[in-house]
């Protein structure tokens, strides 16, 4: 990922820290925010499929991708909020996945 992503995640964490504090309740809210964002991605996919007959097709794949990006970015901010370096955590995760799929 581009350096701007990691910098933005750290900046978002600092902004949230300044606005909302850093206690356990705030950290809990940042982690729970992931569920909210994932729900929005799921809702957008339902909209792509036109699964709700009352609404029909309401979203595009690009909108689903944007919602998924919100999930990713929210996770990065949550990792930073745990006091960890999101880049290192994501890199380790990617290496673990790669080791499982590479013969």
pLDDT at 102: 86
pLDDT at 70: 98
> Which of 1, 81, 91 lies closest to 33, judged by CA?
81
- Could you tell me the residue range of the domain that residue 31 belongs to? 3-101
Domain count, the chain: 1
Sign of the torsion angle spanned by Cα atoms 13, 14, 19, 22: positive
Task: Report residue 92 CA to chain centroid gap.
Answer: 17
The pTM for the full model equals 0.93
103 residues of the chain, pLDDT tens digit each:
589 999 999 999 999 999 999 999 999 999 999 999 999 999 999 999 999 999 999 999 999 999 999 999 999 999 999 999 999 999 999 999 999 998 8
């Amino acid at each position: 990922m581009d350096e701007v992503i990691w910098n933005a995640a750290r900046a978002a964490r600092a902004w949230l820290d300044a606005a909302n504090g850093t206690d356990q309740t705030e950290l809990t809210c940042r982690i729970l925010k992931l569920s909210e964002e994932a729900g929005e991605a799921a809702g957008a996919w339902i909209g792509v499929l036109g699964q709700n007959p009352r609404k029909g097709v309401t979203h595009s794949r690009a909108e689903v991708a944007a919602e998924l990006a919100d999930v990713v970015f929210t996770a990065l901010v949550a990792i930073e909020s745990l006091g960890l370096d999101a880049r290192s955590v994501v890199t380790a995760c990617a290496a673990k996945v790669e080791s499982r799929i590479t013969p």
